[in-house]
């Protein structure tokens, strides 16, 4: 299996460079630069939007050089029964146990509950993880769902208009490809939030217990034909699309 190690684009704003390479948040990087604590090629720079060459320029913060970090992006088809966490003493098996040692530093982006299968991104790129999980970016996630009983038009409208969970209404959803047979309904649902067990709870609220749940997409990423329990590195095109969110 091929693995892809990606560095940031060569030209990047100084403020973003510091954030990407783990120095601090973008907000703190802005203040750090304006306070005169950052030097580029031996010269103090106080403009956060200054374009720098991440591969050639020498960046120092308070006298310490900041190197351009390489990032890894792994897409996993998580099986049922595996916990989405880096470490949990009560978990029978975690997602990192499905990856080789060289990827043990990666962090799951968002969560899939233990009984849910499907697409899970693991990376050490905090900026991409933030974009995929923060509500303000409105990133869609599509799930294949199998429930007991029939998804009537009335229940479908309730799911699409939003469901009250713990006192707060969920954002509008989209339901597609509905198939009803033998007292079970299969459909795809796209949501734009990441509440704990959200799809299961939404379906339960309209009287449709979930039998099976699998995440198919997250933003521009698609599970495709990746086999259950297997993983692959993202392509350059996929990484560029994530960065452009």
* CATH number of residue 92's parent domain: 3.30.70.580
Distance between CA atoms of 222 and 214, rounded to whole angstroms? 12
For residues 29 and 149, state if they share a domain: no
pLDDT given at position 145? 98
For residues 120 and 230, state if they share a domain: yes
Residue 162: half-sphere exposure toward Cβ, Cα within 13 Å:
11
Q: For residue 113, indicate whether it is catalytic.
A: yes
Q: List pLDDT tens digits, range 86-133.
A: 766 566 889 999 999 888 889 999 889 999 999 999 998 888 898 899
Q: Is residue 168 part of a domain?
A: yes
pLDDT given at position 17? 86
For residues 183 and 211, state if they share a domain: yes
pLDDT given at position 136? 87
For residues 181 and 150, state if they share a domain: yes
- CATH number (domain holding residue 17): 3.10.290.10
Q: Is residue 3 part of a domain?
A: no
For residues 163 and 192, state if they share a domain: yes
- Residue that finishes a domain, picked among 18, 34, 65: 65
Q: Per the structure, how many domains does the chain have?
A: 3
Cβ contacts of 91 within 8 Å, gap of 6 or more: 83, 85
- Residue that finishes a domain, picked among 50, 65, 80: 65
For residues 79 and 191, state if they share a domain: no
Distance between CA atoms of 227 and 9, rounded to whole angstroms? 31
Average pLDDT across each block of 10 residues of the chain; the chain has 245 residues. List them in order: 48 83 84 95 94 88 86 95 78 88 90 95 89 90 98 98 95 96 97 93 98 97 97 94 87
For residues 27 and 147, state if they share a domain: no
130-137: which pairs have CB atoms within 8 A and are 24 or more residues apart?
131/219, 131/242, 131/245, 132/218, 132/219, 132/242, 132/245, 133/109, 133/194, 135/192, 135/193, 137/245
For residues 211 and 225, state if they share a domain: no
pTM of the model: 0.77
Parent domain of 53: 8-65
| Catalytic residue (choose from 31, 53, 55, 113) | 113
pLDDT given at position 105? 86
Q: Is residue 1 part of a domain?
A: no
pLDDT given at position 2? 45
For residues 111 and 145, state if they share a domain: no
pLDDT given at position 27? 85
């Amino acid at each position: 299996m091929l693995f892809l190690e990606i560095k940031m684009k060569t030209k990047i704003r100084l403020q973003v460079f510091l954030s990407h390479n783990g120095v601090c948040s973008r907000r703190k990087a802005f203040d750090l630069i304006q306070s005169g604590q950052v030097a580029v090629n031996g010269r103090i720079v106080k403009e956060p939007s200054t374009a720098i060459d991440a591969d050639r320029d020498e960046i120092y913060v308070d006298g310490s050089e900041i190197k351009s970090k390489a990032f890894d992006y792994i897409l996993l088809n998580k099986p049922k029964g595996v916990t989405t966490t880096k470490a949990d003493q009560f978990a029978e098996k975690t997602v990192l146990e499905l990856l080789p040692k060289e990827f043990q530093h990666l962090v799951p982006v968002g969560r899939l509950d233990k009984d849910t299968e499907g697409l899970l991104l693991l990376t050490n790129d905090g900026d991409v993880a933030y974009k995929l999980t923060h509500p303000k970016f409105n990133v869609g996630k599509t799930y294949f769902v199998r429930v007991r009983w029939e998804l009537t038009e009335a229940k479908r409208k309730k799911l699409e208009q939003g469901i009250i969970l713990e006192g707060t209404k969920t954002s509008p959803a989209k339901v597609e490809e509905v198939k009803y047979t033998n007292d079970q309904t299969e459909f795809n649902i796209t949501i734009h939030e990441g509440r704990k067990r959200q799809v299961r709870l939404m379906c339960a609220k309209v009287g449709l217990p979930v039998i099976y749940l699998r995440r198919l997409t997250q933003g521009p990423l698609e599970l495709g034909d990746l086999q259950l329990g297997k993983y692959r590195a993202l392509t350059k095109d996929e990484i560029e699309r994530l960065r452009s969110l």
